[in-house]
Structure 1
Amino acid sequence: MTDLLEGEYQPSTQQWVRDNVELYESTGGKEGWYLRGRKDWPVVVITSVGAKSGKLRKNPVMRVEHDGAYLAVASKGGAPEHPVWYRNFLVNPVVQLQDGPEPALYRARLIEDQAEYDEWWQRAVEVYEPYADYKPKAEAAGRTIPLFVLEPVD
């Protein structure tokens, strides 16, 4: 078994993120496994290492899973810029993912192949339909929404 990420945790500046992460972790995923009260929007909690600070950052991310791999969609609601954790994943690709009671380590890989991107994008939209609205917003701002596949670390 691989050791989990260690270090100082710096909570999000956004209250709803802090609340969601705390509820998820304190109940082993029995509560807080959904986004903003919507049980049809399942989430996992991903812990990454800050690219600049080196501190642990935790975020609820939509649960898009296929054959033991997960997807992290760097949508930021279609904003013109990437979410902060995007850079964290590039600089420190080993992340901790919690889907239920036990966290595990995964390696984040940015999808660069268009066919793989399209396949995972479709899965993401099936789980969380608002992604379909985020894509044209991001593209209008000159940004393609990055997708990361998270694969288990042995």
Structure 2
Amino acid sequence: MKTAAALVIAALSALSLPAAAEEIGCATTTWKLIGANHRVCIYAYDDPKIPGVTCHVSQARTGGVKGSFGLAEDPSQFSLACRQVGPITLPAKLSEDEIVFSNDTSIFFKETDVHRFYDQKRNVLIYMAISRKIIEGAPANAISTVPIQPWGGK
């Protein structure tokens, strides 16, 4: 029974990880005598379906002994900035709401998800970061928009 539950959790986790983040750097916010310091870290990810768009997410990371072992719950504090970094080519079919990045912030099913929306009327991609728990949602959120512009004469 435990094995079946573990397989379901692993499968769901794999489905919610469409893009891998690249850690850019971290700044210490609180020094801890024992264990890792509390930090705010910046991660970059490229939209896996829309070349030419990169998002940066800064996120609070809990330190201490629990944080050192990955047992601490990170706070729902983050910021999101997405930019056009090259020519943007939209795929023929684009989902109305798609999770393009997901990052676990707790071993107890808490995560930060970045959703992509397309405002066709204004030709703008909208990225929305939300903190969520499987049992209970959290209201923390942030958005960033990327107007689709010509790039380098294209």
TM-score, reference length from structure 2: 0.29
When you count helix as a share of all residues, which structure comes out higher? 1
Higher relative contact order (CA 8 A, sep 6+): 1
Greater Rg over alpha carbons, structure: 2
Of Structure 1 and Structure 2, the greater strand share is in 2
